[in-house]
Chains A and B, each alone.
Chain A
Amino acid sequence: MAEHIVTKKQYSYVFGALLLLTFVTTSVGMMDLGRLNVIVALVIAVIKALLVVLFFMHIYWSTKLNKLVVVAGVAWLALLLWLTLTDVLSRGWLPFPGK
Chain B
Amino acid sequence: MITATVETRDNYLNHEYGVKSWLLTKDHKRIGLLYLAAITFFFFLGGIFATVIRLELLTPPGDLVSAQTYNKLFTLHGVIMVFLFLIPSIPATLGNFLVPLMIGCKDLAFPKINLLSWYIFMAGGACVLYAMLQGGVDTGWTFYVPFSTSYANTYVILTGVGIFISGFASILTGLNFIVTIHRMRAPGLTWFRLPLFIWSMYATSLIQVLGTPVIAVTILLVAVERGFHLGIFDPALGGDPVLFQHLFWFYSHPAVYIMVLPGMGIISEIVSVFTRKKVFGYRFVAFSSVAIAVLGFLVWGHHMFVASQSVYASLVFSFLSFFVAVPSAIKVFNWTATLYKGSISYDTPMLYAFGFIGLFTIGGLTGTFLATLGFDVHVTDTYFVVAHFHYIMVGGTLMAYLGGMHYWWPKMTGRMYPEGWAKLSALVVFLGFNLTFFPQFIMGYLGMPRRYHAYPEEFQVYHVLSTAGASVLAVGYLIPAIYFVWSLRFGKIAPDNPWNASGLEWQTTSPPPPENFEITPVVTYEAYDYSILEEMKVG
Contact = CB atoms under 8 A, between A and B. Distances in A.
Nearest to A86: B313
A97 B301 CA distance: 19
Interface string A4-41: 00000000000000000000000000000000000000
Contacts of A72: 210
A68 to B, nearest CB: 10
Contact of B316 (A80, A86, A88, A91): A86
A99 B311 contact: yes
Contacts of A84: 243, 246-247, 250
Given A65-B182, A98-B308, A99-B308, A87 B246 contact: yes
A87 B214 contact: no
Interface string A28-60: 000000000000000000000000000000000
Interface of A: 65, 72-73, 76, 79-80, 83-84, 86-88, 90-91, 93-94, 98-99
B285 to A, nearest CB: 22
A83 to B, nearest CB: 7
Contacts of B316: 83, 86
Contacts of B308: 98-99
A23 B225 CA distance: 36
A87 B249 CA distance: 14
A20 B314 CA distance: 45
Interface in B300-334: 300-301, 304, 308-313, 316-317
B197 interface: no
Contacts of A88: 240, 243, 310
Q: Which 6 A-B pairs have the closest CB atoms?
A: A87-B313, A90-B312, A91-B310, A90-B310, A98-B308, A86-B313
10 contacts: A79-B298, A80-B247, A80-B250, A84-B250, A86-B301, A87-B242, A87-B309, A90-B313, A93-B312, A98-B308
Contacts of A73: 210
Interface of B: 182, 210, 214, 240, 242-243, 246-247, 250, 297-298, 300-301, 304, 308-313, 316-317
Contacts, number: 49
B311 A94 contact: yes
B301 A87 contact: yes
A81 to B, nearest CB: 10
Given A76-B210, A83-B301, 17 more contacts: A72-B210, A76-B297, A79-B297, A80-B214, A80-B247, A80-B250, A83-B316, A83-B317, A84-B247, A86-B313, A86-B316, A87-B304, A87-B309, A87-B313, A91-B310, A93-B312, A99-B311
A88 B301 CA distance: 12
B479 to A, nearest CB: 43
Nearest to A93: B312
Contacts of A65: 182
Contacts of B214: 80
B173 to A, nearest CB: 17
Contacts of B243: 84, 88
A90 B210 CA distance: 26
A93 B242 CA distance: 17
A87 B250 contact: no
A73 B213 CA distance: 11
A83 B310 contact: no
Contacts of A99: 308, 310-311
Nearest to A85: B313
A93 B316 CA distance: 15
A40 to B, nearest CB: 28
A83 B182 contact: no
A87 to B, nearest CB: 4
Contact of B310 (A76, A79, A80, A87): A87
Contacts of A91: 309-310
A99 B314 CA distance: 10
Contact of A83 (B240, B242, B300): B300
Contacts of B304: 87
B297 A86 contact: no
A22 B106 CA distance: 48
Nearest to A98: B308
A94 to B, nearest CB: 7
A99 B305 CA distance: 11
A76 B293 CA distance: 12
A80 B304 CA distance: 15
User: Which of B210, B316, B317 counts the most chain A CB atoms within 10 A?
Assistant: B210
A93 B300 CA distance: 21
A73 B309 CA distance: 26
A65 to B, nearest CB: 7
A83 B247 CA distance: 11
